[in-house]
Amino acid sequence: MKILTVIGARPQFIKAAAVSKVLRSKYNEILIHTGQHYDENMSKVFFDELKIPIPDYNLTVGSGGHGVQTGNMLIKLEDIFVKEKPDLVLVYGDTNSTLAGALCASKLLIPVAHIEAGLRSFNMNMPEEQNRILTDHISTLLFTPTTSAVKNLYNEGIKNNIYNVGDVMYDAVKHFTNISKENSSIIDKLDLLKKKFILTTIHRAENTNNISNLKNIIEALNETSKTIVLPLHPRTKKYIESYNLVLNNNIKVIEPVGYLDMLNLEMNSEKIVTDSGGVQKEAYFMAKPCITLRNETEWVETVEAGWNIIVGTNKDKISKAIAEFSPSGIQKNIFGDGNASTEILNKISECSFN
């Protein structure tokens, strides 16, 4: 069987780092990088550090409006799919690269496997929500990370070929945590005291593209007496500059970091403040209190477990949570056992696509 995998954005590189090596133990995988993320610290660093196979194709689509970006991917993917004739196309998550890969395959009647299926924010203003709903409805195999994701699919009438395998990001964390401990010196490099800083990431469109949301978040970070470490996504950097927002000295702004440094920052932080999906889960895996800068989350289990608090972009709520939020619940195994990749391989092996 020939599997063709489409990735393009930072979290997908990390997920592929876990899944690709397992898939390749049995199958021929062709890897396509759409080029959605392209800066060295948003792309190459992950391939190098995590030993992700070099992509067979890079579509170099770059940035642009949703139509331009997704459309360019579709045009380029179709030629490759027609030439490579894969038995299965694999996509991850909810980015424009996910939707392009799934849609292109579906139109060519190639089966699609969606990893991280069934997640919902119930907020159709998010491009990610649009991408994931559309992708799930044209997918053949749906690999869910949580039981609530299974429920969401059922509620939309998708009832077949759902496999609740757990979260591949947990596989990645389990595999790379010790490697991070051995190789990352980011804490010393940034002169940080362990458990004495708040790690923050911001990149969600609803937060960056809205001046009052971004201003509230930055003001809350400015006003805390704690040290904030902020690996800055290029989207957010662009908007902070264009809105002329000023960051106080307690905020250490750094370039986006590689995954090994990121895990190290997470494991040594006091708390995590984020609007990232992946970082919310990693906070849970590392048993760190997570403060989520959104009005809802797809990762409801982390909130129900008491380890994640949803504060939106209300300045006072953010400040209060930074000062006071303390998890109350005992941690449970809500994301599987860290062997999702092997379960995915086993399920794919049971299906015949020829």
Tell me how crowded residue 112 is: count the other CB atoms within 10 A of its CB.
23
In SS3 terms, the chain reads as CEEEEEECCHHHHHHHHHHHHHHCCCCEEEEEECCCCCCHHHCHHHHHHCCCCCCCEECCCCCCCHHHHHHHHHHHHHHHHHHHCCCEEEEECCCHHHHHHHHHHHHCCCCEEEECCCCCCCCCCCHHHHHHHHHHHCCCEEEECCHHHHHHHHHCCCCCCEEECCCHHHHHHHHHHHHHHHHCCHHHHCCCCCCCEEEEECCCHHHHCCHHHHHHHHHHHHHCCCEEEEECCHHHHHHHHHCCCCCCCCEEEECCCCHHHHHHHHHHCCEEEECCHHHHHHHHHCCCCEEECCCCCCCHHHHHCCCEEECCCCHHHHHHHHHHCCCCCCCCCCCCCCCHHHHHHHHHHHCCCC
In terms of CB distance, is 278 or 327 closer to ligand UDP? 278
Interacting residues of 186 by C-beta distance below 8 A, sequence separation 6+: 192, 257, 261, 264, 265
- Which range, of 57-65, 96-104, 116-124, 254-262, touches ligand UDP by CB under 6 A? 254-262
Closest to ligand UDP by CB, 11 vs 312, is 11
Min separation Cβ 304 and ligand UDP, Å: 20
Is 114 annotated as catalytic?
Answer: no
Examine residue 277 and tell whether it contacts ligand UDP (CB under 6 A).
Answer: yes
Question: Nearest approach, Cβ of 125 to ligand UDP (angstroms)?
Answer: 16
What binding mask, one character per residue, do residues 3-22 give for ligand UDP by CB under 6 A, x or -? -------xx--x--------
Residue list 94-133, contact with ligand UD1 (CB under 6 A): 94-96, 127-128
- By beta-carbon proximity to ligand UD1, the closer residue of 32 and 345 is 32
Query: Does 243 engage in binding with ligand UD1 (CB under 6 A)?
Result: no
**Closer residue to ligand UD1 (CB): 43 or 184:** 43
Question: Segment near ligand UDP (CB under 6 A), from 62-70, 156-164, 271-279, 322-330?
Answer: 271-279
Sole binder of ligand UD1 in the list 38, 47, 243, 353 (CB under 6 A): 38
Q: Which of 290, 255, 263 is nearest to 275 (CA)?
A: 290
Partner touching 280 among ligand UDP, ligand UD1, none, CB below 5 to 8 Å by kind? none
Q: Under rule CB under 6 A, which residues in 199-218 are in contact with ligand UD1?
A: 203
Smallest separation (angstroms) from ligand UDP to the CB of 108: 27
- Quick check: 86 binds ligand UDP (CB under 6 A)? no
Is there binding between residue 11 and ligand UD1 (CB under 6 A)?
Answer: yes
Which partner in ligand UDP, ligand UD1, none is near 42 (CB below 5 to 8 A by kind)?
Answer: ligand UD1
Q: Which of ligand UDP, ligand UD1, none binds 111 (CB below 5-8 Å, type-dependent)? A: none
CA gap 151, 143 in Å, rounded? 13
63 binds, among ligand UDP, ligand UD1, none (CB under 5 to 8 A by kind): ligand UD1
Q: Which of 33, 114, 203, 233 is catalytic?
A: 203
Residues 279-308 touching ligand UDP, rule: CB under 6 A, are: 279, 282
Is residue 259 a contact point for ligand UDP (CB under 6 A)?
A: yes
Phi, psi of 233 (to 5 degrees): -65, 140
The binding site for ligand UDP (CB under 6 A) comprises: 10-11, 14, 201, 203, 231, 256-259, 262, 276-279, 282
Active-site annotation, residues: 203
